């Protein structure tokens, strides 16, 4: 029996376990960068999510990673599962190892400021405005985690608090690259500016500064 055949049997076993341990989840795969959860789900299946196989360890604050227990036949990294336990994306599927998922709490959209024209002469304000922001990704599930670090505003006004930094984990979509300076908004009305990006095998890991609108 080779590794692929053994992996198929592991998937079957996880599917049987999920029927006893989990609930029904809808399986999505993005085909466009806009609103992946508005498409028809690929399937419905039983799925459970835990921090360890013994189900004896509670989730800690700021812990987004979960072990996914479900039949992963036909799944790909970046696929999304929506269940009664929450919304998750598949971060990694190493052969013969647990499936790593990330629990998400928000739906985020990514905006990029359009390049200002280079016409000569007196020009209007060329900074960021709602009119010159282009939507490049919309309504993607993401985990937004508060970072321990923060930044002072360069203005250093009396009574001014530090601006909070966040780590944002979200799936990658082929052909769409995220850059420092892009803006993130969520359905709760929060707004962030990306300060650094890291594209990993498990999706995007972003550092973002929360800003006021």
- Whole-model pTM: value is 0.85
Q: Is the pLDDT of residue 129 over 80?
A: no
Alpha helices in 58-98 (DSSP H): none
The C-alpha atoms of residue 144 and residue 167 are separated, in whole angstroms, by: 6
In this prediction, residue 213 has a pLDDT band, given cuts at 50, 70 and 90, of low
CATH code linked to domain 106-211: 2.40.10
Q: Read off the pLDDT of residues 112-127 as tens digits, 9 standing for 90 and up.
A: 997 655 555 555 545 5
Asked if 173 and 29 count as a contact pair (C-beta separation under 8 A), the reply is no
In this prediction, residue 128 has a pLDDT band, given cuts at 50, 70 and 90, of low
Q: Which residue has the tokens 């376990």?
A: 17
Domains of the chain, residue spans: 3-104, 106-211
Specify the pLDDT at position 4: 83
Q: Which of 210, 102, 107 is nearest to 149 (CA)?
A: 210
Bridge partner residues of 113 (DSSP): 133
Specify the pLDDT at position 125: 45
The C-alpha atoms of residue 164 and residue 213 are separated, in whole angstroms, by: 15
The C-alpha atoms of residue 107 and residue 160 are separated, in whole angstroms, by: 29
Query: Is 106-211 in the same CATH topology as 3-104?
Result: yes
Mean pLDDT of 47-70: 92
CATH architecture under which domain 3-104 falls: Beta Barrel (2.40)
């Amino acid at each position: 029996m080779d590794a692929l055949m053994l992996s198929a049997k592991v998937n079957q076993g996880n599917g049987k376990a999920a029927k006893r341990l989990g609930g029904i989840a809808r399986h999505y795969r993005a085909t466009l960068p806009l609103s992946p959860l508005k498409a028809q789900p690929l399937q419905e299946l039983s799925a459970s999510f835990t921090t360890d196989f013994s189900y004896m360890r509670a989730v800690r604050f700021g812990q987004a990673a979960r072990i996914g227990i479900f039949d992963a036949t036909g799944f790909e990294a970046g696929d999304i599962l929506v269940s009664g336990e929450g919304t998750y994306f598949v971060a990694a599927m190493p052969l013969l190892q647990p499936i790593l998922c990330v629990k998400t709490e928000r739906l985020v959209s990514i905006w990029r400021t359009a390049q200002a024209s280079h016409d000569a002469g007196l020009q209007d304000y060329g900074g960021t405005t709602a009119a010159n922001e282009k939507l490049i990704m919309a309504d993607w599930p993401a985990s937004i985690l508060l970072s321990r670090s923060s930044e002072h505003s360069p203005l250093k006004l009396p009574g001014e608090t530090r601006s909070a930094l966040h780590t944002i984990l979200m799936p990658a979509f082929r052909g769409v690259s995220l850059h420092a300076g892009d803006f993130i908004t969520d359905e709760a009305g929060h707004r962030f500016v990306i300060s650094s990006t890291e594209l990993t095998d498990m999706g995007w890991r972003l550092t973002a500064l929360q800003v006021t609108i």
